[in-house]
A and B are shown apart, each in its own frame.
Chain A
Amino acid sequence: MAAPRFWREIPNRYNLIGTKCGNCNKVLFPPRYICPHCRRMGKLEPYKLSRRGKIVTYGVVHVAPEGFEDQVPYVLAIVELEDGPRLTTQVVDCDPNEVKIGDEVELVFRRIGSDNEDGVIYYGFKFRKV
């Protein structure tokens, strides 16, 4: 990943800053420039999402993409946050056999990846069981 692309997304990745539409009150993550429901009537403002949610569904990764090999087997889940939006995230610090749909999770700050040994390190959100 190019450093500027990551840098642009720091508020979303570090602190779950999404957008909320002042017209339909829907909360959107990742943030949008145009409300997909209200189109030109939408009034989007930055919105800080809840740091807690529930596992909607999950899978256990055994064959990982580059950079995640040493973490297998690990849980990749779709989490629904308390304020509505769903996001795909790793669930860390747990035995994959102990994860269930409906489990409550909370945000943690972790290393996501890096550009080689001498590149930029990317940080962001993952979740852990409460």
Chain B
Amino acid sequence: MDVGIIGYGVYIPRYRIRVEEIAKVWGEDPSRIKQGLMIEEKSVPAPDEDTATIAVEAARNALKRAKIKPQDIGAIYVGSESHPYAVKPTATIVAEAIEATPNLTAADMEFACKAGTAGIQACAGLVEMGMIKYGISIGADTAQAAPGDPLEYTAAAGGGAIIVGKNNDEALAEIEGTYSYTTDTPDFWRREMRPYPKHGGRFTGKPAYFRHVLSAAHGILRQLKLTPQDFAHAVFHQPNGKFPCQVAEELGFSKSQIVCGLVVPKIGNTYSGSTMIGLAAVLDKAKPGERILVVSYGSGAGSDAFSIQVKEAIEAKRDSAPKVDDFFNNKIYIDYPTYIKYRGLLVR
């Protein structure tokens, strides 16, 4: 592949709710949940935030790093399972808000938590064949969880944007290759007009998350003839803290290889944003020459794996936009009643 990452950016809403605050309501033991899910708190969108506003903020931050003319962007894809409209694209709102209109193609994508990485692949294909100069893919969500469902502890809000272009001097990283693994696995779904998703409990583990993430990771290692030792960092989709740690161990990655990109304990599962924000957290710190394995997961089910090598241009671009750590540290805690009001569950 002759494709690189030209810019990246994230956005995480400022509000947080702690595990203790939710556990108190449902009479559960917070220490068990914190230990079991490896999560401390999750982000909550403000009442005037949604997937479109999060996608716009992430895309604007990516453009600050890319330092390109927005009119040179030929494709915008927004991956999410919480698009504000059922019919009317989020991607057109983003395109207008970053002044990339009107000469471009745009579409919304949906594949549970992996629609953002599917967008990266689409952009990479268009760049590779010369149809566009730059493409931007955004993964963003304001995840829904029914009150009292275990998902309530993790379903969070946030987004990440990746600008893809040719692998030249302005690329801050090279995308060396990509590999996907997809099957029909009903582990998590939301039917039309239903406010909350349903899931298969333990079925979301072995036949779903683990099978697809492991297969995609093995696939790309085989394709590029690489081993876990060739990577400085690895990022796996993070529905909770436990799953990515287990999958890393099974593949032969050490704790030190995944710690940089493990963002879920501080912000929760940002669904389509999860893998993208994990990658951004690594790019915030990685040195030129270091290689990163990235594997997303979307229920339903599928995984996209990427091998990414960091380049010199990262040093000049990294500080041009807020980093993941800046979002981690800039927060306002809210209580459970405020949380359900902000999520629109408490209506006067």
Which residue numbers of A lie inside 8 Å of B, CB to CB?
A: 10, 14-15, 69-71, 92-93, 95, 108-112, 121, 123, 126
Contact = CB atoms under 8 A, between A and B. Distances in A.
A110 B53 CA distance: 6
Given A71-B47, A126-B48, A10 B96 contact: yes
A92 B48 contact: yes
Contacts of A121: 50, 52, 84-85
A70 B323 CA distance: 30
A72 to B, nearest CB: 11
B48 A69 contact: no
Interface of B: 14-15, 46-50, 52-53, 56-57, 60, 84-85, 93, 96-97, 99, 332, 341-342, 348
Contact of B49 (A10, A15, A95, A111): A111
Contacts of A71: 47-48
Contact of B332 (A69, A93, A108, A126): A93
Contact of A112 (B48, B84, B97, B99): B48
A25 B218 CA distance: 62
Given A93-B332, A95-B332, A111-B50, 12 more contacts: A14-B96, A15-B99, A70-B47, A70-B348, A92-B48, A93-B46, A109-B60, A109-B97, A111-B49, A121-B50, A123-B53, A126-B48
A121 B85 CA distance: 9
A121 B96 CA distance: 15
B161 to A, nearest CB: 13
A110 B142 CA distance: 14
